Amino acid sequence: MNEKLVKEYNEKFGNKSAIQALEFFLKEYKGRIALASSLGAEDQVLTHMIVQIDPETKIFTLDTGRLFPETYDLIDRTNHRYKIKMDVYFPEAKHVENMVKEKGVNLFYESIENRKLCCHIRKIEPLRRALEGSDAWITGLRREQSVTRNNDTMVEIDKNNRGLIKINPLINWTENEVWDYIKKYKIPYNKLHDQGFPSIGCLPCTRAIQPGEDLRAGRWWWEQPEHKECGLHEK
């Protein structure tokens, strides 16, 4: 049923604006939908839109325990600006302790398998808890971001999360459109964006990029582009 429904949604909303899509889905799945925010530029745009439409919508973020200080600061600034209380989900302490004891605190530099294990414990497991009780979730994915997202659509089935409906309202947006919107509405954003960080994740796994580099070149920079997903959005 979900596959048929997703096809219908894409036919209806594939070329609609982000606001039009959000207005429909926030009403259709009210009380059963959430925005997963990484505090990135796209998610700040979506937070701004969602609060205007339905401020009661659940907005959450995943605190991996390895975030930049600027990211924590942005959580406070966003809550203050929109008068909301973003939910924060943490990894299970025992799982982190066992992983670090066995493989070391910076295990992710040693292999893709280790990096994905770290992402699984710090991101995937908390995400599943955050999405309990939801039938749909919203993300800030854009096709332009990376080669791993070229074929993404406005609406998808998330087979890794109970077959939930996954909505990507900004899928067709360009980087310029995101920043034009942020400037227009004076939306709070991570100060690291002004220091050459277009994509911001955990501190040990993120660096600034050089002019001309891919937007996600600074994420897990020691890996090949086709591997640069933490698992939250893998098909």
Residues carrying an active site annotation: 230
Cα dist. 235→57, 161, 169, 203 in Å?
26, 11, 18, 25
Q: What is the DSSP letter of 213?
A: S
Buried b (16+ CB within 10 A) or exposed e, 50-77: bbeeeeebbbbbbebebbbebbeebbeb
How many Cα atoms are found within 13 Å in the side-chain-facing hemisphere of 11?
6
Q: What is the DSSP letter of 198?
A: S
Dist. CA 154–CA 141, nearest whole Å: 9
